[in-house]
Every structure is written in structure tokens, then in C-alpha cells.
A and B are shown apart, each in its own frame.
Chain A
Amino acid sequence: MKQAKMLDVGKLREDFSILNKKINGKNLIYLDNGATSLTPESVIGAMNEYYGEYNANVHRSIHSIGERATIEYEKAHEKVARFINAEFEEIIFTRGTTESLNTLAYCLTKKLKGGDVIVLSEMEHHSNLVPWQQLAKEKNLIVKYIKINENFELDLEHAKKIIDEKTKIVSVTHVSNVLGTINDVKEICKLAHSNKAIFIVDSAQGIPHISVDVKDIDCDFLCFSGHKMLGPTGIGVLYGKKELLEKLDPFLFGGEMIKEVNFENSKWNDLPWKFEAGTPNIAGGIGLGATIDYLNKVGIKNIKEYQEYLTEYGIKRLNEIGVKIYCSKNPKNRSGVITFKINGIHAHDVVALLDRDGIAIRGGHMCAMPLVTKVLNENSLCRASLYFYNTPGEIDKLVEGIKKAKEIFHVI
């Protein structure tokens, strides 16, 4: 096991002031990055600068600060586009992955007819399951789920069986928020396209940890959130291929998305603004731009390499104390998520006991209730989700905390 040399974690930690805070009298050990990540000073600074120096609306106000706000907000779109190898017109800012996926569910099912099939997977977060499930009920569509195998990866043979000419949409997660599995979205994309189906990637848990190239994947749409990649909450992205976005009708109507309005008819604005009705989350958008700058500086490839090391260390240490871990055996196929179960202690109690030591992890269904309760057959699980500012020392503290919890519950 070798540690990635390129990341100076101690130095990077200085960028996150929250890491100096005491929680219940102890140093914060933040292992709940799957829920939301911490925010570096440069991102907070970029948003403060907007509010403190050029607080104005975008695309309407032609005075100096309005112009600066417009430039910065558009620049953020450009940065996101470059980050995922897309074009400027293909980047729509939303409230987050959930809103991006809901928008797609409404827009894309509009033209579907009864009996058409939507394929998801068993490891979807509620946000990539419930919108499709509910619209399917309304329009008599059929939802099918790609199964997961015993190594907690998607069963591609099963995918081949269920994706057929009746399939109109395939939407799967890039990285599972429970299992940490990195899915072979490129392969599933080929399956979808060979059946003329639209292919969507939910990259909420992917983009913070692995390089994303939409042209390489060849996906039609890709969604993610700012706050899971060090950015602010309330801002997210919907990427779509230009030719598809041009064909789609807008989902929300109002200001900003319009070019011309009379009492009878309206003309839509150009991409991407056609899908950004109303005054957007300007500070959030600018903050997301600053987030991309920060991630580029650290380097996604370095993050991936360091996390592979840290995750392997975490799995090894947790295995030593006999907890049951749910993740792929292949280090290359997993992100920094370690979901586990301690026999004899409910996840909520584990979370509460670790919190006393300032250690933040997640317990419960992790917003993937069908996966946890029906596929893994568990009522509740614990999840430690890592990011590059976490250290092996913090993992050791987690292990100590679990040992203490076992003592309190008399679990050997």
C-alpha cells in the first residue's frame, strides 16, 4: 500500500477553517462527505465578494455591477463546461442533482407512451428513482432495475437483458452513495444507445472524486450538485447534449428564459438560459466557479489516487475489528465510501456515540431505502464517507470510537 505523494493533505486542510473547530470539545473529524462536503475559504470568499462588492442581478441590469455579476456568473458556466469537457451552452445551473433529475423526468417522459420502459438500477439514490417511479405511474410506463451482483457492482449481463428496443430512457448513478461502487457508465451508455434510448448519469457522488468527461462517456445528460464537491448548497448542474436541449421544451417558465413575449405567444431564450427561469442562485453559481478552480488546483486525479489509498486503509482497519463492510473488492472500482454494520448496535447509536468524540458519520438508509432494505436486507447501516482532507489518523480515531461503542453495548 503506497501513499499518494502528490497531495500535501496537512497543507490542504488549512484551506478549511471548519477543521479547526471543536465539536463536543473534540477536534472535528468529518467523515460524512457523502452527505455534504466542507467548503474551502476561497469558495466562501468568492461568494462574499459577490454580496459585498457587486451584488446585482444578471442578464438584465446593464449598470457596472450588473455587468460584472453577469460576467462572473457566465464565467462559472464556462468553468463547469471545461471541467467536464462540455460546451458552454450545455451547462444549465439548477438547485442541485435532485432538481436536475426531476427536470429531466418531466421533460423526457412528456412524449413517452404507455408501455415504454425506463431502466434504472437497484443502487439509485431516491432522487434518481422517485421522479421516474411517480411519472411512470401517471403515464403507465414500466420501470426496470439493473440488479447488483455479490461484489456490489452492477450486473452488466442483467443490464443487457433488460435494456431492449422498448427502453426509452436509461438513468444510472455514476458512483453509489451507499456502496461507493464506480459504475461502468460508458458500457451502459453503449447498451442504451444501441437500443436508441436516452442515457442519463447521476454523477452527484462521481464528480467530486473521479474525472468526468461527458464526450468520453457519450452520455446524453449528466447531473450533479455543488455541495458534494466543496461548493455551496443550492446550486447544481444539468448537462445535456446541445442538440437534445434544443429539441426539449423548457420546464419552468418566467423571466430569464424568455426572448420575446406578447399576450398570445412567447419565444424561448438561447441555451443554456432557456432552462434557467427566474433570477438564479448567482452567489451559488459564482461559488461553484470558484470550487472548480480549487478542484483543478488540487487535481481530481490526485484526489482519486489518495482516496484509493485512504479507503483501502479504512477497510483494512475496520476489518480488523470485525465489522461487516459493503463494498466492491476492487479498489479501482470504488470511491471513498465505507458502509458498514456492527452486529448488536443500531446505526443511530453508533452515530450518537461517535459524535461524542467529534466524529461525524451517517447512519440510516442514506436516501437509498430500496437498496438498503430490499437488496442488502438491512434496517439501517453506518457510512463513513471520505474526502481528500481526511487522514489515516482520523480513520484510527473512528476505529477507537467504534471499539468504545462496542464496550458500552457489551458487543465482543
Chain B
Amino acid sequence: MTKFDDNMDPNWTGDEEVYRENIIDHFKNPRNFGEIVEAEIKHSELNSVCGDIIRLFVKLKDGKVIDAKFKGNGCAISIAATSMMTDALKGKTFEEIKNLSKEDIFEMLGIKLGIVRMKCGLLCLNTLMNGIKTLEEKK
């Protein structure tokens, strides 16, 4: 469930800056779109309100991310966020990606999200975290 942050303006509804050119660009030309057949992390999550679905693939070697890809469909915010996140994952250690926070995602997007769009922007992070959880449970 989406939680209200203390530092979030609850009356903030205008999202004039949401559809910035870089977001539209990542939506129309998503980076790292595709599948990794042999990936350590393979996980899907669904945002049932609007029907966004993300399937994330992360390949690890010697405790580091050597590749990250994703498939799925969704709104501009969720696709752009996932596109940017998969770029950022590459080269990071397993510990580093485990500590990835929602603030990191907001920073990548460069926009402030209202309570409704929060779910879209954070779908990629939820997918990653639940994928990591599944991987650790397997160990």
C-alpha cells in the first residue's frame, strides 16, 4: 500500500513536470528492453489499478550485476522508471542493489510524484525487491 510521506505535500496534484522529454524518451525507447534467459533474478509484478506489468531480469556474477533487462507494458512513468533503473543496476554490487531506495528512483526520474503515480514509479523497485527476496529464499 502506498504510504504518505511526511515530506510529501498531500495537496500536491499538479504534475506539469511529469511528462518531461526524458521521460517520454525512455517510454518510447526503453533501454534494456528484452529478456535474459539465464538470470539469477527473474521476477514479475503487476499494478492492478492500471494494468502495468513488469518482468525484470538481473544477471549476477561474483556478487555484481553484469546485465539487467526488462519486459512488460505500462504507463510512461512506470516504463521510464524501469528503463532508468535497469541502466543504473549495471555494475552495482548485490549489496548495493539491495539497498536501492525509492529516493534513488525519484532522483533518476528527476520528478516529484503524487500519491497515485507513486505506484507506477515504484513498480520497478518493488519488482526488484521481491525478486531479491525470492532469490535469497532459494539460497
Interface residues of A (CB under 8 A from B): 24, 344-349, 351-353, 356, 363-365, 369, 372-373, 379-380, 408-410
**Out of B14, B50, B117, which one reaches A347, CB within 8 Å?**
B50
When chains A and B are docked, how far (Å) is the Cα of A352 from the Cα of B119? 14
Residues of B within 8 A of A347 (CB): 50-51, 75
- Inter-chain CA distance A288–B58, complex, in Å, is 54
Q: Is the CB of B14 within 8 A of A356?
A: yes
Q: Is the CB of B19 within 8 A of A410?
A: no
Given A346-B50, A379-B53, A408-B24, decide whether A352 and B15 contact each other with a Cβ distance below 8 A.
yes
- For B75, what are the chain A residues with a Cβ–Cβ distance below 8 Å? 346-349, 352
B1 in the interface, Cβ–Cβ < 8 Å? no
Q: Is the CB of A379 within 8 A of B76?
A: no
Q: How far is the CA of A369 from the CA of B52 in the complex (A)?
A: 12
B53 to A348, Cβ gap below 8 A?
Answer: no
In angstroms, Cα B51 to Cα A345, docked, is 14
- B73 within 8 Å of A (CB atoms): yes
Q: Which of B14, B15, B48, B73 contacts A346 (CB 8 A)?
A: B73
Q: Which residue of A lies closest to B74 (CB)?
A: A346
Docked CA distance A409–B19 (Å) = 8
B residues in contact with A365, CB < 8 Å: 48, 51
* Contacting residues, chain B, for A352 (C-beta < 8 A): 15, 18, 75, 116-117
**B120 within 8 A of partner (CB):** yes
- Additional pairs, 10, CB under 8 Å, beyond known A380-B51, A408-B24: A24-B13, A348-B52, A348-B74, A348-B120, A351-B50, A379-B73, A380-B73, A408-B19, A409-B19, A409-B27
Would you give the shortest CB distance from B110 to chain A, in whole angstroms? 17
Docked-complex contact B50 and A364, CB < 8 angstroms: yes
Instruction: Give B80 Cβ to nearest chain A Cβ, in Å.
Output: 11
Chain B residues lying within 8 Å of A351, measured Cβ to Cβ, are 50
Closest to B15 in A: A352
Q: Is A353's CB under 8 angstroms from B51's CB?
A: no
Using Cβ atoms and an 8 Å threshold, which residues of chain A touch B13?
24
B residues 34-91 in Cβ contact with A at 8 Å: 48-53, 73-77, 79
Q: Are A410 and B24 in contact (CB under 8 A)?
A: yes
Residues in B neighbouring A348, C-beta threshold 8 A: 50, 52, 74-75, 77, 120
What's the minimum C-beta distance from B65 to chain A, rounded to whole angstroms?
A: 28
A353 touches B19 (CB 8 A): yes
B102 at the interface (CB under 8 A from A): no
- Interchain CA distance A36-B76 in the complex, whole Å: 27
Chain B residues close to A by CB (< 8 Å): 13-16, 18-19, 24, 27-28, 48-53, 73-77, 79, 116-117, 120
Given A24-B14, A349-B76, A409-B24, A364 and B117 contact (CB-CB distance below 8 Å): no
| Closest chain A residue, CB of each to CB of B114 | A352
Partner of B49, one of A356, A364, A409, A410: A364
* Contact sample, A vs B, 29 pairs, CB 8 Å cutoff: A24-B13, A24-B14, A346-B52, A346-B75, A346-B76, A348-B50, A348-B75, A349-B19, A351-B50, A352-B15, A352-B75, A352-B117, A353-B19, A356-B14, A356-B16, A363-B50, A364-B49, A364-B51, A365-B48, A365-B51, A369-B51, A372-B51, A373-B51, A379-B51, A380-B52, A380-B73, A408-B24, A409-B27, A410-B24
Least CB distance from B107 to A in Å reads 21
Residue of A nearest to B20 (CB): A408
7 tightest A-B contacts by CB? A348-B75, A348-B50, A346-B75, A380-B51, A364-B50, A379-B73, A349-B75
**Closest partner residue, chain B, to A345 (CB atom):** B76
A229 to B14, CA, bound (A): 31
Bound-state CA distance A379–B75 (Å) is 11
CA distance A24 to B14 in the complex (A): 7
* Complex: chain A residue closest to B76, CB-CB: A349
Q: How long is the Cα–Cα vector from A303 to B48 in the complex, in angstroms?
A: 33
CB distance from A41 to the nearest CB of B (A): 27
Task: Output the nearest chain A residue to B79 by Cβ-Cβ distance.
Answer: A346
Min C-beta distance of B138 to chain A, whole Å: 29
Whether the Cβ atoms of B28 and A410 lie closer than 8 Å is yes
A409→B48 CA distance, assembly (Å) = 23
Q: How far is the CA of A408 from the CA of B75 in the complex (A)?
A: 14
Which residues of chain A have C-beta atoms less than 8 A from B16's C-beta?
A: 356
Chain A residues near B79: list those with CB within 8 A: 346
Complex interface: chain A residues within 8 A of B116 (CB) = 352
Contact A356 B15 (CB under 8 A): yes
CA distance A153 to B31 in the complex (A): 41
How far is A351 from B15 in the complex, measured between Cα atoms in Å? 12
Question: A66 CB to closest chain B CB, in angstroms?
Answer: 41
B14 partner residues in chain A, CB cutoff 8 A: 24, 356
- Chain B: minimal CB distance from A149 (Å): 24
Give the CA-CA distance A372 to B53 in the complex, in Å.
Answer: 14
Contacts of A380 in B (CB 8 A): 50-52, 73
The complex places the Cα of A410 from the Cα of B23 at a distance, in Å, of: 12
B69 to chain A, nearest CB (A): 19
B71 to chain A, nearest CB (A): 12
B73 neighbours in A (Cβ, 8 Å): 346, 379-380
